[in-house]
Structure 1
Amino acid sequence: MSEVISSPTPSVEVTPVADFEFISTPEHLETWVKDSEAHLQATGETRVCLDTEADSLHHYHEKLCLLQVACGGRFALVDPLAIADVSPLLALLDRYELWFHGADYDLTMLRRTYNWEPRMIRDTQIAARLAGARQFGLAALLQNVLGLTICKAPQKADWSRRPLPVHMLSYAVDDVRYLLQVADHFLAILRSKNRVSWFEQSCGALQKEVAQRSMAPREDPWRVQGSGRLNAKGLAILKAMWEWREGIAQERDIPCYRIMSNKQMVSYAEAFELGGVMNPPGGWRPRWKKEFHDLVAAVFRAGQASWPQRLKRVKSRMTDSQRDAVDKLCTKRDEIALGLDVEGSLLGSRSDLEQLIVDPATENPLMEWQEALLRPVMSEVSVAGRNGTEPAD
């Protein structure tokens, strides 16, 4: 039995507690930040918590809709739709150890909205995984660690609506209310296993990864998953459908998937290639059906000269011996992970291990703790891989 999750107390339904402030004016925010700073200094608390809600499931332009904050037992829900400048809050958070749960998306939205990268983050999801948890969603952790059941129904609600109903506000504050209790539980386990440095390095690596991501739009965003198997004819109709769908979604301010999913578009493109019948979905309004038939006709009229070409596939740089070396390294990695009672991917992704074998001269993609665990098996495996014969041109 894994020691990661302690036996929970009997499950109880969490009752909404109105102990938070909903902040929608700069003056209110400034006062709350000032009072919270004084409270943190008085109590000696060095940790604060943050979570975010957005509206990507309901609108074309995704935007940040709510900031949930916990500072030493003081809770606030800050409305970024009403307050353009939340810099006093961000400055406060930067003076403390900032905890999230599943920080990747939150960090991305905060960077995109405010061009802000926190000074130091800690992530309970990372802590849970390094401690050996296999269920690491927040609701699962609250249930397994604290015996608490929280309602997740508002998770996919439209957070841009105003006013927000009480049950959504209660749900939102619960995302930060118990975070430090969960953190303390897993930090205790990490200390007992000598893995705190693993945790700190992993949180830093996540910050670095998010900060290095390009915010520039993709050059050909219509080349969705599955498009690589299409020929020029199929790519032409896929591109036309993508552009039409973008226009409709923007016009109606709804997510693109609510008109047609990427998978549907690829299926239509495959049918188009084979000369099959392309009937639009039955639930579409007449205008959309007409425009759909018009775009198909337009692709035919444009002719093959205007059709986009399939991207040339980059040949694998791995030789057979290198591929075998990667397979062996992955196997060894998983054996080590099994002994540590963690997922194998935490010790290094397959793509990272491929880089070690194929491009050993490039920057090592592993964190120090990962490299230390894999070093005993890496040398013999990587040498075997490098001894492979390079493929002919």
Structure 2
Amino acid sequence: MDGSKAPSAAEEAGDGSQGGARGDTSKSPAAQDGGSSSGAGSSRVPAAYGSYDKSPGAKPRVTFHDPTIPRPQDQYKIMVNNHSVPFDHVWLDQTEDGRPIHPLEKLNAEQFIDRNAPESEPVRPADVEDTPFTLVEDQKGLTALVNKLKDVNEFAVDLEHNQYRSFQGLTCLMQISTRTEDFIIDTLKLRIIIGPYLTEHFKDPTKRKIMHGADRDIMWLQRDFRLYVCNLFDTGQASRVLEMERNSLEYLLRHFCGVTANKAYQNADWRLRPLSAEMIKYAREDTHFLFYIYDLMRLRLQQESTSERDLLLEVQERSNEICSQLYEKEQLTDKSYLHIYGLQDHELNAKQLAVVSALYEWRDFVAREQDESTGYVLPNKALIEIAKNMPTTAEDLRRIVKSKYPVVDANFNLILEIVWDATENSNAFEAIAEQLKKVQLGQETFGALVADPIPVMQTPVMQTPIMQTGYFGGYSNEQAQSDVESSAYYYTQFPEYSSSGGWSPQELQGIPTSGYHDGCYYGHQPSINQSSTGTGQPAARNNAGGFQDWRKQQSSPHPWQPK
């Protein structure tokens, strides 16, 4: 993924959450041919996706969100921990003070550098259509891929992602290429076993991983699969060190490979199953040509290095820095609302800021509870418009929120209650409103505003800052911790697995299992919307967000407020 890309359709829809649905404008979608399927775990590829104009030369119309697609969380029983508690890197060693240690901390950049690039010009690879391809959709296919990766010392990696219909985001596909084959792993179907199967290859310092603009991919690999990368060569960083005209994969494909990118699928809804031939070819091209680009860049870096500047080492150090980052889950704090994109463009008074804060808190809770993005629940633009206008009737609210948002439609009365209650308790926002005005006038920096400490309550369990001004009932951190520790979940599509016991050694024959099946959830800890009854079954989803009886909740103490 290239870090220098334009906002996707989902971002423009107003999603303010972490891990947003970011379409990669640097990616190279393919033309209209679907690769053949072969090998264990492969399946036939369908020929169509969505609505098409069949006229000659017409491009497929691809939307970033297809509302007819079943949610993978429901279809594949994907469970995540959306509580506002820190992400637990359970497979990493820790320091004495509990800080997780990335495997790269014990390694140095020099040992990853290959200074023996051939002087001859690298050979361009065969086209996608002429290269063996496997769509990995089952455990047998994943085992076959793992065995093939044992025999190579380098492989290319990319991910396709969707976050518009989940709070933290979902990795929908993983593309892996060797110098002779292309693979696409269905990471929705195989999510819970990808980590145990692939972890050794990803962290193996003797195997080079070639990726482009890997910043977000590295985070998603950790978040969804507990995969930590060692020995990365990031072609995006190499393009910067070489001071190329542009740094996108789209540009590199055209410059080095003569491949013209078609952006039709940059924001496709990658949750779609089965995948179309066009989507598969688009995804394959993201890794298929990376070896050739890598060979050409490595040769140039070696040739253009001087005694004063080692370009290969510089790229390696940049790549290591990207890999060393550790994923952090978005936390709800007393100033989270101030980070809403576009908020500083509006002159809001204390009452309006109080409404922004209250709606932000409600939106955050619903998004975590239902595992939806905050942009799906209530986009930033709509949230700010509600705060600016402070509607008092359903008719007023409908005029402000012009588009159809399912959660908003189901909560009109509740939103009006939130607006009313917030405006009645807005005194605490007077100082913030004054500070925001100073920021807009250039008299104060935004960093100083958000860094200014406001006392917050600390829970005795996790010691995590929690908002004191609760406008609705929610989960305390004690409840979150209890749910994580006590709940078990059984994945029916994999009879060998249970979250309390993990994968059995018999099931993971040939795969290192140390630390994998000792009560580890593999990144699928119980969701905030899971029942805490101990049955392990998810609570029913509802568009009302669990706030049907607003007055009753308001009359009782908030779980994180002192009684």
TM-score w.r.t. structure 2 length?
A: 0.47
Report the Cα distance in structure 1 between the residues aligned to 2:161 and 2:330, rounded to whole angstroms: 20
Partner of 1:237: 355
The alpha carbon displacement at 1:264 in A equals: 4.3
Looking at structure 2, the residues matched to 193 and 270 of structure 1 have their Cα atoms a distance apart, in angstroms, of 56
Deviation larger for 190-199 or 289-298? 289-298
> Which of 140, 154, 167 is 1:27 aligned to?
140
Q: 1:181 aligns with which of 292, 300, 306?
A: 292
Within-5 A mapping of 1:89-100: 89-95=198-204, 96-100=207-211
The alignment partner of 1:156 has SS state of: coil
Aligned partner of 1:56 in structure 2 is: 163
Change over 3 Å in CA distance of 1:66–1:308 after alignment to 2: farther
User: Is 1:201 the equivalent of 2:317?
Assistant: yes
Residue type of the partner of 2:163? S
CA contact (8 A) 2:174 2:184 kept: yes
Aligned with residue 282 of structure 1, among 402, 422, 426: 402
For the residues of structure 2 that align with 1:119 and 1:162, how far apart are their CA atoms? 32
Query: How far is the alpha carbon of 1:116 from its aligned partner?
Result: 2.5
Greater Cα offset, 80-89 or 139-148: 80-89
TM-fit CA distance, 1:36: 3.7
Classify the secondary structure of the residue corresponding to 1:282.
coil
1:22 corresponds to which letter in structure 2?
A: L
8 Å CA contact retained: 1:68, 1:78: yes
Q: How does 1:136-155 map to 2 (within 5 A)?
A: 136-155=247-266
Q: Mark the CA change 1:258 to 1:81 in structure 2 (over 3 Å): closer, same or farther.
A: closer
Residue aligning to 2:432: 310
Matched with 2:173 is 66
Code of the residue aligned with 1:127 in structure 2: it is: A
Residue-by-residue CA offset, 1:193-223 (whole Å, 9 max, x unaligned): 2111211111122223x23x64352424322
Task: Name the CA distance, whole Å, in 2 between partners of 1:287 and 1:216.
Answer: 26
Higher relative CO (Cα under 8 Å, sequence separation at least 6) belongs to 2
Q: Deviations over 1:108-145 (max 9, x none)?
A: 01111223221221101111111112322212210122
Matched, 1:257 2:363: no
1:256 offset after TM fit, Å?
2.8
Q: Which letter maps to 2:333? A: E
Aligned partner of residue 108 in structure 1, secondary structure? helix
Equivalent residue for 1:222, pick from 312, 337, 342? 337
SS in 2 for 1:76: strand
Q: Which range is displaced more, 78-87 or 251-260? A: 251-260
Structure 1 unaligned residues grouped into runs of 5+: 1-11, 41-45, 317-393
How much identity, in percent, do the aligned residues show?
21
Residues 253 and 218 from structure 1, CA distance in 2 versus in 1: closer, same or farther, beyond 3 angstroms?
A: closer
> What SS does the aligned partner of 1:99 have?
strand
Normalising by structure 1, report the TM-score: 0.65
Which amino acid in 2 is paired with 1:53? E
> For 2:225, which of 114, 129, 133 is the aligned residue?
114
Does the 8 A contact of 2:165 with 2:376 survive in 1? no
2:355 and 2:267 mapped to 1: Cα distance? 32
Cα distance change, pair 292–216 in 1 and its aligned pair in 2 (3 A): closer
CA distance in 1, matches of 2:166, 2:287: 25
Q: CA RMSD in A?
A: 3.2
Aligned residues: 293
**What is the distance in 2 between the residues matched to 1:63 and 1:184?**
31
Distance 2:317 2:366 in 1: 44
Counterpart Cα distance in 2 of 1:268 and 1:261: 11
1:296 to 401, 414, 419: 419
Q: 1:69: Cα distance to partner?
A: 0.5
Deviates more, 1:99-108 or 1:60-69: 60-69
- CA-CA distance at 1:68 after TM superposition: 0.6
- Kept in 1, the 8 Å contact 2:232–2:323? The answer is yes
Q: Structure 1 pair 244/111, CA: closer, same or farther in 2 (3 Å)?
A: same
- For structure 2, the residue ranges without an aligned partner over 5 or more in a row are 1-29, 37-131, 306-310, 446-563
CA offsets 1:318-358 (integer angstroms, 9 cap, x no match): xxxxxxxxxxxxxxxxxxxxxxxxxxxxxxxxxxxxxxxxx
Asked if 1:17 is matched to 2:35, the reply is: yes
**For each residue in 1:249-308, what CA deviation from the matched residue of structure 2 results, as whole angstroms up to 9, or x when unmatched?**
5677653324543244335434559xxx874222347645544433322323x4335658
Rounded to whole Å, the distance in 2 between the matches of 1:66 and 1:175 is 12
Query: CA distance change for structure 1 residues 304 and 15 in 2, over 3 Å: closer, same or farther?
Result: closer
- Residue 284 to residue 28, structure 1, CA distance change in 2 (3 Å): closer
Q: In the TM superposition, what whole-angstrom CA distance separates every residue of 1:47-81 from its partner, at most 9, and x where no partner exists? A: 21111112113444511111111123222111222
Out of 88, 92, 97, the residue aligned to residue 197 of structure 2 is: 88
From the two aligned structures, give the one with the greater helix fraction. 1
Please give the secondary structure, in 2, of the residue aligned with 1:222: helix
Moved more, 150-159 or 220-229: 220-229
> Aligned letter for 1:282?
K
1:162 aligns with 2:273: yes
In 1, Cα distance between the equivalents of 2:418 and 2:265? 38
Structure 1 range deviating more: 60-69 or 173-182: 60-69
> How far does the alpha carbon of each residue in 1:204-243 deviate from its partner, in whole angstroms, 9 at most, with x for none?
22223x23x6435242432224556645322210022223
- Cα pair 1:49 1:179 within 8 Å, conserved: yes
